[in-house]
Structure 1
Amino acid sequence: MKTIRLKCSLLELIMPVLFISILWSCSDTKKNETASNVDIKIEYPSAAEDKNLDGRLILLLAEQADTEPRFQLRDDAKTCQAFGMDVENWNPNTALQFDAKAFGYPIENFSGLPSGDFYVQAVFHKYETFNRADGLVVKLPMDRGEGQQWNKAPGNLYSTPKKVTITNGKLPHLSIVLDQKIPPIAAVEDTKYIKHIKIKSKLLSEFWGRDMYLGAHVLLPEGWETHPDVKYPLAIMHGHYPKDFDGFRTTPPDPNLEPEYSERFDVEGYNRIVQQEAYDFYKTWTGPDFPRVIAIKIQHPTPYYDDSYAVNSAAQGPYGDAITYELIPHIEKQFRGIGEGWSRFVYGGSTGGWESLAVQVKYPKEYGMCFAACPDPIDFRAYCLVNIYEDENAYYQKGTFRKTLVPGHRDYLGNVDATLKDMNYRELVLGSKGRSGQQWDIWEATYSPIDKEGYPKRIWDRLTGEIDKEVAEYWKENYDLADILKRDWAKHGKDWENKIHIYCGDMDNYYLNNAVYLAEDILSETTGPYYNGEVDYGDRAEHCWNGDHDNPNHISRLRYHRMFIKKYTDKVAKIAPEGADLKSWRY
């Protein structure tokens, strides 16, 4: 009896172990099956400049062949499929086995791919090594004149798309050669009205341990050459990387231009409208009634994005100081700007909207007025639809018995076509460690402290969505613009008076109006002095609404210069010091 009981006890002990072993074996078998389904080898041909490559290898699968797969990766349901993996020290003519466990979007692993015919393409996004002044070494993509676009960056390698058939999640054996290289960007030339400048930044070069540059496209006022003694206010448009001073055209629209349909605005021939608006602006700019100012668009791409967000940050360096104390004074000196804080005003939309408010908040005496349209989240209690201080998870609203995905993008009727998780997963495919060059990663590169390697700390776990509260507190202290205004109003209120103007559609596609509501509450309660600016909303207006109640969004978004330059000159007397010259430049 004792012997039998002992045998039963041994079985009882052994069975769970055997069961777990079987599960592990099945799991390993499944992993091996997944791995065996992926036999993709990628190489690139010999070239003198392409050796020991570091970067991100991106594999794309698309149903349609009307455009290359590299141009079809999106947040919404029309996206193609992509997988990404990091690569170091890759040499030419060395076949690289694509990682079977590579993270994918929107399908996370190869075994989940649907059956059918697809077009496959590989892109290699090159990284460079930066030896930062603090001793940290990071590998990041350097902008090469395209504005940090992984699928358009000069020097990046890519393959010619080929058609493949997937059956039950299994791809055929693939040998892919990155036989194409994206060509350099052509330089732009100066004209009578538009000049292009580029300066080496001492501050940024010291931070990054290599030469770093800032640039700008400068639009000169009519009569600049014939009025050599006049000094002008400086209109600074913030926003994404400008390749030229687009929106200004000295000739009528091209009559032979093939009209293109804008899916975003549901407008036929939108390219013709853009050209007409640019020509109309030229006529307005040179007309007798328009204020004479110098207008600029800044080029300040970083190794993380197409612009720096115009503030100092731990991961990107002192871009705010470099722009404010190096670039802008250089432009004012070369092109006869007045060169005083009241005579500089900033404006922009989306990224440019946040930047405009941010520099006004961070440098209250150095800028005279800001016009922030549809700004990126200016109050992190509404970081789009996430309250980073109170919510535990960015991807889900959690209850006891269920969890609901948090929306990321909507149309003006509220129809959701992407979740926050979708948007973040797409970026995770394009780059690890915040290197995707996309929206959520640049917010971290701007607002976050750095980790021990030198990369931005995550505000939330990119796979799970769990929010890091320590990082959130760092964001609040340094970059929550609404909270900083509230915190520092007693100190800087007089410097912010009459300067802050914010505009947003109440159906902004990214829910940015929610943060504007919270900021408006703070501004409306200011005293000693009252902020005396403006906050306005567009009824059912989507992203990029800028305060224009008279025109549809696809028109008003093309009129930032003529709208905000006029607003500034109408109000400049309120912020200019006594005795300031407000007449000579109004000829």
Structure 2
Amino acid sequence: MSGRLIVFAQALDGKAPPPSVDASPFDPGPVIVAAQEVASLTPGETVELDADLLAFPRRFETAPSGRYAVQVVLDRNHDYARTGRGAGDLLSAVTVLDLPTGGSLSLDTELPMIDAWTLPATAPAHVIVDTQSTRPSIRSFDLHSERLSRFWGRPISMRGYVVLPPDYTPGGRRYPVVYWFHGFGGPTYNLTQSAVRFQQRMTRGKMPPMIWMIPDMTTPTGTSEFVDSVNNGPWDTAFTNELLPHIDRTYRTDARSGARFLTGHSSGGWASLHLQLAHPRLFGGTWSTSPDPVDFHAFIQADLYAPGANVYRSGDGQPLPLVRQGASVSSFETAARTEAVLGAYGGQLTSFDWTFSPRGEDGRPQPMFDRTTGAVDPAVVAYWQAHYDLAAGLARLTPADRRALHGKLHIWVGGSDSNYLDGAVRKFDVVAKAAELDAAVAIVPGRTHFDLYTENGDTFGLLDTIAAQMAASSRGTNSHR
């Protein structure tokens, strides 16, 4: 077996060892992480890992002497920076070692494989996932993409779920269609939970009957964000020219642009806003929540356009944060350097490079910032601005495009967003007003990245509000404005 061998160590300080030792770029905790690539490991073989070549926040040899809980993982899919340990990975038991002396661990457990497109055991019995059924409530799709396959030189598919309304029948009425985009990270089978959620809320009458389409944005490099990228391929073109026509041919959608809607959260919020701005007449509106930075003057807490810009430190040398969530706070530098150890690609920050950056001479995307110093590359930022800064893109809209977008832009974000994404939304709102775009922007006081959807005690109540506004818009009303 081959993959990325990652070792985690946590000082015990007289405490009992925890059941597992792990670290995330967004919450690294008091854990030292080291890694190296290994190839063709066979049962019984021993490999020596030098925990000083690639490690953070310190080399193991400089760790304070003492007893540590240590665990090692072989990340076979190179997706640790995105999803953590998962199906097919090998891992050891947690072992107590004296550092910096070191010791031996055994990769003796293989995590079970999970079919990403199977509903979880908690799904209600009446939910059906069966493409052969004449009346399924949820269907999966796997559409071969000619454009993406040509780009990569191998077969590439677009996958996801279609959730049909409770009264859907072949030959019956047509329904508005909603394209919902997920956020970064987590296993693919999380999409099944979203599919069940939409199905249940329609069945219970909380949401009006519509067709919900849930495309998977996950790629080996992070998320596609459904943009045309020189590194990831023509995802926007494939989506609009291949997937949309396929859905309209296969299901009883109301194919009018005024009945075709976009929504999504986090990275999905950015994707839904991008697609609406890029195709003003193709969609009837976007309802984007907590989108990734939509104005690069506020890329988390950094202004990428400032002279001598640095994502690790402010102008007065203070560390820039990345996460605010109770007592768990990660700086931009800690997250970026932890991510660099966990994987060469697939993490959130590296995903931005793969999606937005120009291609370097080595065939890989040019990094927007130096992972050691945090210094921003102004040439790369200029490319980002020209192609993917959504606020900057507003200035390039023609008067006709602006008229086509009237009443179609809706954005929600928490005033205490966990990744400071409210800052970029505020700046986008200023630019939208200056461009005389009729954008509805809501900054919800006190809400974070993770409780934004809570309304009237319902964790997902905002979904009902959004769906009702879409239904009203499809009927040609503006009652939601």
TM range (shorter): 0.7 to 0.9
Matched, 1:428 2:376: no
2:319 equivalent to 1:367: no
Equivalent positions of 1:290-369 (< 5 A) are: 290-305=207-222, 307-369=223-285
Contact 2:81 2:348 in 1 (8 A): no
Q: Could you tell me which residue of structure 2 aligns to residue 417 of structure 1?
A: 329
1:190 aligns with 2:129: yes
The whole-number CA distance in structure 2 between the counterparts of 1:151 and 1:526 is 46
Aligned equivalent of 1:162: 95
Specify which of 245, 248, 256 is matched with residue 192 of structure 2.
245
Q: Is the 8 A contact 2:453 2:462 kept in 1?
A: no
Question: Partner residue of 2:321?
Answer: 407
The alignment partner of 1:418 has SS state of: coil
Name the stretch that deviates more: 368-377 or 332-341. 332-341
- Distance in 2 (CA, whole Å) between partners of 1:416 and 1:194 is 37
Amino acid at match of 1:372: S
Name 2:9's counterpart in structure 1.
61
Q: Which residue number corresponds to residue 96 of structure 1?
A: 47
Are the counterparts in 2 of residues 503 and 547 from structure 1 also a CA contact under 8 Å? no
CA contact 1:459–1:471 (8 Å) conserved in 2:
yes
Amino acid at match of 2:129: D
- The equivalent of 2:32 in structure 1 is 81
Please tell me whether the aligned partners of residues 81 and 339 of structure 2 are also in contact (alpha carbons under 8 angstroms).
no
Give the match for residue 388 of structure 2: 479
Equivalent in 441, 446, 453 of residue 540 of structure 1: 446
1:349 Cα deviation after fit: 1.4
* CA drift at 1:503: 1.0
Equivalent position to 1:109, from 41, 59, 62: 59
Aligned to 2:329, the other structure's residue is in SS state strand
Amino acid at match of 1:429: V
User: Is 1:523–2:432 an aligned residue pair?
Assistant: yes
The 3-state SS of whatever aligns with 2:70 is strand
Change in Cα spacing, 1:351 to 1:79, as seen in structure 2 (3 Å) is: farther
Q: 1:223 is matched by which residue type in structure 2? A: D
Residue identity opposite 1:61 in structure 2: A
Helix, strand or coil at the partner of 1:245:
helix
> C-alpha distance in 1, partners of 2:61/2:387?
44
Contact 1:221-1:293 within 8 A present in 2 as well: yes
Q: One-letter code of the match for 1:193?
A: S
| Counterpart residue identity of residue 168, structure 2 | W
- Answer yes or no: is the 8 Å Cα contact 1:60–1:120 preserved in 2: yes
**Pairwise CA distance, 1:421:** 0.6
Larger radius of gyration: 1
In structure 2, how many angstroms separate the alpha carbons of the residues matched to 1:173 and 1:411?
A: 36
Secondary structure, counterpart of 2:280 in structure 1: coil
CA distance in 1, matches of 2:475, 2:430: 27
Identity value in percent: 26
Per the alignment, in what secondary structure is the counterpart of residue 378 of structure 1?
Answer: coil
Matches within 5 A, 1:388-399: 388-390=304-306, 391-399=308-316
Residues 503 and 73 of structure 1, relative CA distance in 2, 3 Å threshold: closer
TM-aligned CA deviation for residue 118 of structure 1 = 2.3
CA gap of 1:284–1:120, structure 2 versus 1, over 3 A, is: closer
2:145 to 201, 210, 215: 201
Deviation, structure 1 residue 572 = 2.9
Aligned residue number for residue 134 of structure 1: none
Cα separation, partners in 2 of 1:190 and 1:494, compared to 1, 3 Å: same
Give the direction of change, closer, same or farther, for the CA distance of 1:537–1:200 in structure 2 (3 Å limit): same
**2:83 equivalent among 134, 149, 152:** 149
1:439 lines up with 2:439 in the alignment: no
Please tell me whether the aligned partners of residues 182 and 216 of structure 2 are also in contact (alpha carbons under 8 angstroms): no
Tell me the distance in 1 between the aligned counterparts of 2:290 and 2:218. Answer: 21
Which structure 1 residue ranges, 5 or more long, are not aligned? 1-49, 128-140, 250-277, 577-587
Conserved? CA contact 1:506–1:538, under 8 Å = yes
For structure 2, list consecutive stretches of 5 or more residues without a partner in the other structure: 119-127, 131-135
| Counterparts in 2 of 1:385 and 1:115: CA distance versus 1, 3 Å | same
Please state whether the residue corresponding to 1:371 is helix, strand or coil: strand
- Could you tell me which amino acid in structure 1 is paired with residue 58 of structure 2? E
CA distance in 2, matches of 1:330, 1:567: 26
SS, match of residue 428 in structure 2: helix
Which string of whole-angstrom CA distances, capped at 9 and with x for unpartnered residues, describes residues 331-354 of structure 1?
222222223432211111111111
The Cα shift of 1:80 comes to 2.5
Q: Does 1:210 align with 2:154?
A: yes
TM-score by length of 1: 0.71
Equivalent in the alignment of 2:374: 465
Correspondence 1:563-582 to 2 at 5 A = 563-574=465-476
State whether residues 373 and 545 of structure 1, in contact with CA within 8 Å, keep that contact through their aligned partners in structure 2. no
Whole-angstrom distance in 2 between the partners of 1:387 and 1:316: 25
Amino acid at match of 1:405: P
CA spacing shift, 1:454–1:536, aligned 2, 3 Å: same
1:211 maps to amino acid: P
Report the AA paired with residue 85 of structure 2.
N
One-letter amino acid matched to 1:346 = L
1:75 Cα offset (Å): 3.4
- Of 468, 480, 492 in structure 1, the residue corresponding to residue 401 of structure 2 is 492
Task: Give the alignment's Cα RMSD to 1 decimal.
Answer: 2.7
**1:246-298 CA distance string (max 9 Å, x none):** 1565xxxxxxxxxxxxxxxxxxxxxxxxxxxx5xx656412568422101211
Whether the aligned pair in 2 keeps the contact of 1:120 and 1:163 (CA below 8 Å) is yes
Secondary structure of 1:417 counterpart: coil
Query: Mapping of 1:14-53 within 5 angstroms?
Result: 50=1, 53=2
C-alpha offsets along residues 513-548 of structure 1, whole Å, 9 cap, x if unaligned? 111111101111224xxx223011111221145476
Cα distance in 2 between the residues matched to 1:507 and 1:385: 13
- The structural deviation recorded for 1:151 is 1.0
Change (3 A) 1:561 1:506: closer
Note the alpha carbon deviations across 1:480-521, whole angstroms, 9 max, x for none: 001101222435212211110111111112111111111101
Cα offset, 1:91, TM superposition? 6.0
**CA, structure 1 residues 156+575, in 2 after alignment: closer, same or farther (shift >3 Å)?**
farther
TM-score by length of 2: 0.86
Residue 335 of structure 2 aligns to a residue in which SS?
helix
Match for 1:126 among 63, 72, 76? 76
Q: Does 1:508 align with 2:417?
A: yes
